[in-house]
Amino acid sequence: LTNLNLTSFNTSNVNNMEAMFSHCESLTNLNLTSFNTSNVVSMINMFGNCKKLVDVNLDSFNTMNVTSMNGMFSSCESLTTIDLSTFNTSNVSDMYYMFNFCTSLTNLNLTSFDTNKVTDMQYMFYACFNINNIYASNDKWNISDSCKTNNMFGACGVSEVTYV
């Protein structure tokens, strides 16, 4: 299975998408444009270990109620870009391992991310060897003193976080 088109898939009553596509290691393209995620609270490891995934459309994702995104894109080694501009992370508390081992990512725009409630960002960008820039919002990207950040940027190629 390399391509998956789920445009007629009804997810309006789903509240947990943990590991939904995890370890779909041959998957390259994923069309989720009709996914209704308004009731989802957990996206833990949703795309984890989708090693060949190069394109995933998340434009329809409503993440307003999501509290856990840890490992969401972990080991998505072929993703070069991810459009997360529609993500509302104001209720998310866990982002650890979220992008670790996304070794092909070069830039990451997280300006929509509100991190005020996040308590764990450990290994969030670990081993993102090719990432050059991370863009974050000056108003929304706040890391509290109590937030766990061990190895958040460990073995990461990021040269700077740009606040806009």
CB atoms within 10 A of CB 44: 24
Amino acid of residue 132? N
What sign has the CA pseudo-torsion 76, 81, 86, 88? positive
Q: Write the pLDDT tens digit of every residue in 62-111.
A: 999 999 999 999 999 999 999 999 999 999 999 999 999 999 999 999 99
Q: Write the pLDDT tens digit of every residue in 54-75.
A: 999 899 999 999 999 999 999 9
Q: Is the per-residue pLDDT at 152 higher than 90?
A: yes
Domain limits for position 21: 1-163
Give the number of domains in the chain: 1
Query: What percent of the chain has a predicted confidence (pLDDT) above 90?
Result: 90
